[in-house]
Structure 1
Amino acid sequence: MALKKTEIYSTLWASCDELRGGMDASQYKDYVLTMLFMKYVSDKYKDDVFGDIVVPEGGSFEDMVALKGDKEIGEKVDKIIAKLAEANGLRGVIDVADFNDEEKLGKGKEHVDRLSKLIGIFEGLDLSGNRADGDDLLGDAYEYLMRHFATESGKSKGQFYTPSEVSRILAKIIGVDDDTPLDATVYDPACGSGSLLLKVSDEAPNGLTIYGQEMDFATTALAKMNMILHGATGADIYKGNTLSSPHFVEGSQLKTFDFIVANPPFSNKNWTSGLNPESDEFDRFTWGIPPEKNGDYAFLLHIIKSLKSTGVGAVILPHGVLFRGNAEAHIRQNLIKQGYIKGIIGLPANLFYGTGIPACVIVIDKNTAESRAKGDAGLFMIDASRGYMKDGNKNRLRSQDIHKIVDVFNSQIALTGYSRMVGLDEIIENDYNLNIPRYIDASIDEDQHDLTAHLKGGIPVADIDSLESYWQVLPTLRQTLFSDLRDGYRECLVASTEVKAAVLAHPEFIAFAEQSLTPFNDWWQANQLSDITKGDRPKALIHKISEDLLARYAHAPLLDKYDIYQILMDYWSESLQDDIYAISQDGWSIGSQLRKLVVAKGEKLKEEPDLIINKVKYKAELIPPTLIIARYYSDEQAHIDDLQAELDTASSTIADYTEDHGDEDGLLADAATDKGSFTKSSVNARLKLASDSDEKDVLHQLLSYFDIETKAKKSLKEAQDALDKAVFEHYPTLDEAAIKTLLIEDKWHATLQGGIEDEIERITAQLANRIKELDERYAEPLSQIVDEVETLSQKVTAHLQAMGVA
């Protein structure tokens, strides 16, 4: 059965829960990722004599499973890992974590139970079907863990991971494409866990030849495991200090590469450790020596020196490199004069795990440097600092933010307040200062108030004209909403609370809404999702259909094509991805399957069941019961809704009745329980003691209401149980045609169309809210306010006189 993204994520995070108590994230990540690696290679390569990894006798995950409950489990697990490491030259890579460490994992029974549970969690995963061709869920899960580990590790220990969203930008702007050959080289001099390198390699259909160097021992091990998990077993990852001891050299020169990407540690204060930059044997500091306590430019100069004459690189650095003075200003001026810097992309603050400061991407292009050095070409700048979403205590780039940055940079599109080409002359005028706000004004215009409108009333025509993009699409709506008041000012003909309803009901808006759905309907017809078959590549599919949707909305009035694109990408992440991965692995028939939820004794159920039949809990793989009910059992559901309404009415009647008669002096006062509530038994108990006829009547009436409620509950439960049983029995009868209808039309199409309709309404709400704001702002001119103040003052004076105060 297909392995879902959500399933593997929850499993992996459950494994973290087993370890979290004894150590911090920077430590337990080594245990979790080692266990993930052992499980993956065992599932993938155990019976593959031609596989990249040899799984020796006594060196597999199955051997670990046999150790559950063993008193010596920690020591024996270490030996199993050592066997696999020895057989594959992975000593110092996969055997970094000590599973026999009692300080971290506990002693005695606690140690045994913790490791046994950890192994049991991974035992339930089948990773044999995972593919390493750009569609691997395992690689995505590794990214998921890296992000969470980095989040929990804190500033001092989270630098091993570059957010995947930022990595994707670098990968897409350095020129790797479908024609890039496998032997083209990509290098990262501060590769961390290797994810940035892998993102670049993914951009080439056949991958790239990967090189990386990382100073931290444990992180180097993570990078090597990451490469294997992604199928990049030939990657050359080396441990060492890139600046003082670069590993990739050819004779007395640095090895040069076609592409370089990097996210080096920001403002490294120890960059000269083991290095004398004034006599650097690799001649990296020709254009200047960086400050002793700030190594940002040291890495940039190393990258430039390591690029081929036709090479392209992208490096993430703090914004300070764009404008800091002294030695850095000298280096920056030299690099600009040489034409090496092709572009700069300003990113939002708080994206990275090692720091909250904003960073930028500097793109180096040696191939086109000469034209910039001569002044024939400029330096392209983007200010993308405002495009992000909040994610806990960090900011994250959305799919639309990434796509917009890549589109604008690669096509050199000038957008007001976002991007432009900056000529060399302008940079020289600014003393080679590259601080982005000097060249791009991304500030939001302040909303100006009109003093005359406040004095005399009326909405300024200038404010109405500022909504011109709406009036171009809805030309007569303007006349419907406004009429002349006096020269330069208009009055709103619709009450401010009714503006949105007036807009939605206007014929032009109705036509606009229909027109706005046309590109979606055309896109849906052109991309026949019913053609998905086993073996298809989901990532290739989402790339194809998302690009098509983006193109179809490129010229849609009022709607932003990137907002529409985000609707699809959000749904892909939430649900569509899981569905299509499952179909590509197991075929459409998986839509008819229900999975029994089994939970070990003493543990909690990790998933909410979709159906409970005879106390057995089931989860639908792809099609939730609500879809089957809506299409096949709408009458039964309507009957249940009626029964629910009857039950609600009965419960409400009881609540009202007990409220009317249940206070201290009420006839039900003595029928309440100790907690002040009323139950059938408490009322019957009081009835046996009651002698007052009025009290008895009230008690009998309440009992009758309880009987009505009990019968309603019984009827509702019987009807719900019957419907659940019918739905449960309906799943196995679903053929491929029915499954496709339920999934494609009732689930995917309905959800996506609903999202676009919401976006259309959101755009309309922006117009209505602005008109409402303007109308309310100028609704009371100064003269009217003065009159109201005078009237109120007179009333106050009259009251004071009546009281004898004034």
Structure 2
Amino acid sequence: MAIKKNALYSSLWASCDELRGGMDASQYKDYVLTMLFMKYVSDKAKANPYSMIEVPLGARYEDMVALKGDKEIGDKINKIIAALAEKNDLKGVIDIADFNDEDKLGKGKEMQDRLSKLVGIFEGLNLTGNRADGDDLLGDAYEYLMRHFATESGKSKGQFYTPSEVSRILAKVIGIHSDTPQDCTVYDPTCGSGSLLLKVNDQAPRGLSIFGQENDNATSALARMNMILHDSSTAKIWKGNTLTDPQWKEANGKLKTFDFAVANPPFSNKNWTSGLNAEKDEFDRFTWGIPPEKNGDYAFLLHIIKSLKSNGKGAVILPHGVLFRGNAEARIRENLIKQGYIKGIIGLPANLFYGTGIPACIIVIDKEYAQARSGIFMVDASKSFAKDGNKNRLRSQDIHKIVDVFTKQLELPCYSRMVLLSEIAGNDYNLNIPRYIDSSEPEDIHDLSAHLQGGIPNRDIDALARFWQVFPSIRATLFAECKKQAAREGYSEALVKSSDVKSTILNHDEFKTFAAQSLVAFTEWAQRSNLKAIEQAELPKQIIHRISEDLLQSYSQTPLLSKYDIYQILMDYWAEVMQDDVYVLVQDGWLAGKVLRELVVKKGEKLKETPDLVIGKAKYKAELIPPALIVARFFTAEQAQVDNLHSLLDSASQELETYLEENSGDEGLLNDALNDKDKVTKATVTARLKLATDPDEKAALKQAKKLFDFEADAKKALKEAQDALDLAVFKQYPKLSIDEIKSLIVDDKWLATLESNIIAEIERVTQQLANRVKELEERYNEPLPALTQSVENLSYKVAGHLKTMGLEWAL
């Protein structure tokens, strides 16, 4: 069977557990990723003798497997890796981790067991002939591990990885098109593990020529491995400090220039001048000003601008401070703005990155149109994110919206606008985004007149205009002009109790029409998506791109619903379920729908997966089609019988529980019949019944036994029916036809789930209307005079009660 992405990820992360204890995440990542690399290239070479990486005799992964339990396993693994490194010019790249380090891996038996388990985990992954290989299955797994390592490495050691969501934005906004040639170059002067470069490379139809530099030795090694795992083995990654010793230079000693550049440099580097005389920089990078000695943000930006061709384009992640800090940075910022190099600025949410929690921005550079630039396009995406543990994360919809708005230069209220250079000059070249885009929530102002005299302000009702455009009659159902006081113009009264607002909306014909029309777009999309035509060797990433873009477009004109929210529904379900399903289908075909995989547990181990079916003692996992879908399509009568038996069992158990409660108290017949230490069970009741002589006692015991028997019989009948149903389902899998498999997976599983989630989204939107209407009604329901009168009436009642009790209370 094909390797499912989520299954692969969990296996890889399990490998990390074998190394915990002796080192932190920033260290053990080197061991795990090296092992993944060795397994990958070994399987690659086995499948393709002309593979880019040559695996010499004695350096295969199988040779590592043979070392399990060997007392010298650490030293021998080092030698295997060294042989592969020597053969492929990878010394200093894949041999960074020392597998014989007793301080990190333990001594003697501890190291032997730990490494044996680690090798065993990777041994179970078959990466030989996965048809999804061109879809970066292993590369994505590498990214997955990087993200987890960065999360666990802590604030000071997580800077080797740029979150892939942010990387995707940079890759999409720098101007790569469908006709971008393969010989175009992309450069990252602080490339870390290389993920940002690879995301840019993915945007070009035929790839790009990749160049990078990374100061940290171990991280540059990770980048080289990352490139090979992503089938970009020709990428050139150098080690060294970009500012003090840039490696990419022309023959004349000047900096090499590139078509594209991206970077996520270390924020506010305080040692950037170490080993560098900025005033006499041989590369003339600081023509527009020298950055402060204790803050290197602009040093990296200026290096990138100098490294771009005259028509080059780039994107750099920097802390927000670069937009507004004064003194030397203000002069540099002014000069760059006047030169027209800055095309746009994208403000990001705080707490996205692993090395810091501060908010950052993306500065987009475009030299090609610098002279004609009359403004800077700004996007404030600081409020578009989802919480993910202790970090914030950009969702698929957030990324898509940012890219759409920026690339199409769409001006949206409170989100984006083109800011003219003249306006920026009027603000002393301060680029702080809140100066130009107000993304704050409008204040919810209370109406004092309404609080005093009653009525709901029409301006608050009118503010819901986007709903009334779709539901004009619902407004008339919920509100009417005030009738109690004719002079109260501009105010309305509620016609429906606040508790009934939601049901009134949901049951209204206008809402039902809106809901039905909103699902038409989904139905038409489902037909166009033609998911039943998925074939082997298709690329899953191309499939999700095609269907997600189509769904986004399908809801672009639907009122009230956000096309990006609908898009997110699909992307979430893709990540959770569809992605794994599709990976199996493109490798093994639709016949994989018949597969029930038996879960075999080795002695002493626990079952790692929850079985879908249990037949006798055998446990099975369905690869693609959950048993519930088989039951719903083929065994509805049998399931109805099981449900009925469940109800009978529940009734029997409830009746027994009630009887025992009524007769087991201090004066209960069962309590008198049994000893204080005896629990009321079928066994104790049966035993006591044989000895009982009192008629009332015997009657109580007989009834208890009868109810215990009823419950036991119900349990037995239910188990027999459920076992028979499970066996019938088990036997149905091999009988499934291709058409039935396609219908079960596409119609009953995928589309049914997506439709259900979209219906929930439709109701969520109307819930917003219901909540606001309810809030307004409750806010102004009782004006101040009514509240005062109510207090006065209650006070008199209290005084009356106190007087009756012989107490006086003066009002």
Q: Fold match, TM over 0.5?
A: yes
Residue in structure 1 matched with residue 255 of structure 2 by the alignment: 254
Counterpart among 747, 759, 762 of residue 745 in structure 1: 747
CA–CA distance in structure 2, aligned partners of residues 671 and 138 of structure 1: 69
Query: What's 1:230 paired with?
Result: 230
Opposite residue 299 of structure 2, the aligned amino acid is A
Does residue 604 (structure 1) correspond to residue 606 (structure 2)? The answer is yes
Name the SS for the 1:541 alignment partner.
helix
Instruction: Give 1:372-771 correspondences, 5 Å limit.
Output: 372=373, 377-485=374-482, 486-669=488-671, 678-688=680-690, 690-771=692-773
Is the CA contact 1:130–1:136 (under 8 Å) kept in the aligned structure 2?
no
One-letter code of the match for 2:668?
Answer: G
CA distance 1:487–1:322, change in 2 (3 Å): same
Secondary structure of 1:379's counterpart equals strand
1:91 aligns with 2:88: no
Deviations 1:27-77 (A, max 9, x none): 111111111111111111135231100011010111111111111111111
From the superposition, tell whether residues 676 and 410 of structure 1 become closer, same or farther in structure 2 (CA, over 3 Å).
farther
Task: Return the alpha-carbon distance in structure 1 between the equivalents of residues 604 and 566 of structure 2.
Answer: 45
CA RMSD of aligned residues (A): 1.4
* Secondary structure of residue in 1 paired with 2:21: helix
Q: Distance in 1 between matches of 2:260 and 2:129?
A: 32
Greater Cα shift, 490-499 or 682-691: 682-691
**Could you tell me how far 1:671 is from its partner in structure 2?**
6.8
Question: Residue 161 of structure 1 corresponds to which residue in structure 2?
Answer: 161
Contact kept in structure 1, 2:132 and 2:537, CA below 8 Å? no
Which residue identity is paired with 1:176? I
User: Displacement, 1:134?
Assistant: 5.6
Query: Per-residue deviation at 1:673?
Result: 9.1
What is the alpha-carbon distance in structure 2 between the residues aligned to residue 298 and residue 686 of structure 1?
90
Q: Which string of whole-angstrom CA distances, capped at 9 and with x for unpartnered residues, describes residues 96-141 of structure 1?
A: 1111112222222222111111111111111123468761221111
What are the superposed Cα offsets for residues 140-184 of structure 1, whole Å, 9 maximum, x if unpaired? 111111111000000000000000000000000001122111111
Q: 2: CA distance between counterparts of 1:741 and 1:547? A: 23
Q: Relative to 1, partners in 2 of residues 1:473 and 1:770: Cα closer, same or farther, differing over 3 Å? A: same
For 1:113 and 1:670, how far apart are their aligned partners in 2? 61
Worse-superposed segment, 329-338 or 471-480: 471-480
The residue matched to 2:469 in structure 1 has which SS? helix
Q: CA deviation at 1:482?
A: 1.2
Work out whether residues 344 and 362 of structure 1, in 8 Å CA contact, stay in contact via their aligned partners in 2: yes
Task: String of CA shifts for 1:529-571, please: whole Å, max 9, x gaps.
Answer: 1111011111111111111111111111111110011111111
**Alpha-carbon distance in structure 1 between the residues aligned to 2:614 and 2:91:** 49
Q: Distance in 2 between matches of 1:394 and 1:672?
A: 59
TM-score by length of 2: 0.97
Q: Distance in 1 between matches of 2:624 and 2:98?
A: 40
Is the CA contact (8 Å cut-off) linking 2:685 and 2:705 kept in structure 1? yes
Matched, 1:182 2:179: no
Q: What is the deviation of 1:421?
A: 0.2
Does structure 1 residue 320 correspond to structure 2 residue 321?
yes
The Cα shift of 1:690 comes to 4.3
Which secondary structure does the structure 1 equivalent of 2:379 belong to? strand
For residue 595 of structure 1, give the secondary structure of its aligned residue in structure 2. strand
Moved more, 534-543 or 381-390: 534-543
CA 1:50–1:673 in structure 2 vs 1: closer, same or farther (change >3 Å)? farther
Change (3 A) 1:118 1:469: same
Q: Distance in 2 between matches of 1:47 and 1:753?
A: 41
Please give the alpha-carbon distance, in whole angstroms, between the structure 2 residues aligned to 1:671 and 1:683.
9
Deviations along 1:478-506, one digit per CA (max 9) or x if unpaired, are: 11111221421111111111111111111
Cα contact 1:322–1:433 (8 A) shared by 2: yes
Cα drift, residue 92 of structure 1: 1.2
1:203-222 superposed matches below 5 A: 203-222=203-222
Q: CA deviation at 1:803?
A: 2.7
TM superposition shift of 1:676 = 8.0
Q: Distance in 1 between matches of 2:631 and 2:461?
A: 49
The amino acid of 1:187's aligned partner reads: Y
Q: Which residue of 2 aligns with 1:105?
A: 105
TM-score of the aligned structures, taking structure 1 as reference length: 0.98
Q: Per-residue CA shift, 1:198-256, capped at 9, x if unaligned?
A: 00000112111101111111111111110000000000011100000000011221000
> Are the equivalent residues in 1 in contact too, given 2:351–2:391 (CA < 8 A)?
yes
SS in 2 for 1:370: coil
Moved more, 118-127 or 662-671: 662-671
Contact 2:458 2:491 (C-alpha < 8 Å) held by counterparts: yes
Cα–Cα, structure 1 residues 134 and 701, in superposed 2: closer, same or farther, change >3 Å? same
Task: Tell me how far 1:290 sits from its aligned partner.
Answer: 0.5
**2:132 touches 2:586 (CA, 8 Å); kept in 1?**
no
The yes-or-no answer on 1:352 pairing with 2:353 is yes
Which residue identity does 1:296 align to in structure 2?
Answer: D
8 A contact 1:673–1:682 mirrored in 2? no
Displacement of 1:605 after TM fit?
A: 1.8
Could you tell me whether the CA contact under 8 Å between 2:71 and 2:108 is conserved in 1? Answer: yes
Q: How many residues align?
A: 802
Aligned residue identity for 1:145:
L
- For residues 193 and 37 of structure 1, the distance between their equivalents in structure 2, rounded to whole angstroms, comes to 14
2 CA distance for matches of 1:70 and 1:226? 30
Q: CA deviation at 1:659?
A: 1.6
CA contact (8 A) 2:93 2:221 kept: yes
Unaligned runs of 5+ in 1: none
Aligned to 1:772: 774
Instruction: Indicate the SS of the match to 1:46.
Output: helix
Aligned 1:286-305 pairs, distance under 5 A: 286-305=287-306
Q: Does the Cα contact within 8 Å between 1:134 and 1:539 map onto a contact in 2?
A: no
* 317-326 vs 695-704, which moves further: 695-704
CA distance in 1, matches of 2:514, 2:599: 47
Return the alpha-carbon distance in structure 1 between the equivalents of residues 770 and 569 of structure 2: 23
Letter in structure 1 aligned against 2:770? A
C-alpha contact 2:642 2:722 (8 A) present in aligned 1 = yes
Written as runs of structure 1 = structure 2, the 5 A alignment for 1:127-166 is: 127-130=127-130, 135-166=135-166
> Following the alignment from structure 1 to structure 2, what is the Cα–Cα distance between the partners of residues 219 and 274?
21
Q: Deviations over 1:6-32 (max 9, x none)?
A: 110110111011111222111111111
Cα displacement (A) at 1:81: 1.1
